[in-house]
Amino acid sequence: MKKTGIIQLRLAEKCMVCEERQLKGMHVIDAFLCESCERKIIESDTDDSNYVYYLKQLRKIQSHSGMK
């Protein structure tokens, strides 16, 4: 029985910013943030419109976890 494909599929999580399934990333509360989005947030200037976008996406998690 070949299990590798199943394991990879289960490890891939949907990033809450780009909404792509990624294997690597970190968890913020109960949401998942992929490596590339994490890097974009870190590298973003606070005046950058991308930064504002990511903050909005992060707020979605906060409101989501608050409903529990």
Least separation in angstroms between CB 17 and Zn ion: 4
> At 56, which helix (H) or strand (E)?
helix 49-66
Residue 58 interacts with Zn ion (CB under 5 A): yes or no = no
Which among 52, 26, 49 has a CA at the least distance from the CA of 37? 26
Least separation in angstroms between CB 18 and Zn ion: 3
Position among 31, 32, 34, 40 found at the interface with Zn ion (CB under 5 A): 34
Pair 33, 17: CB distance under 8 Å: yes
Residue 61 interacts with Zn ion (CB under 5 A): yes or no = no
What is the three-class DSSP state of 16? Answer: coil
Q: Which residues bind Zn ion (CB under 5 A)?
A: 15, 17-18, 34, 37
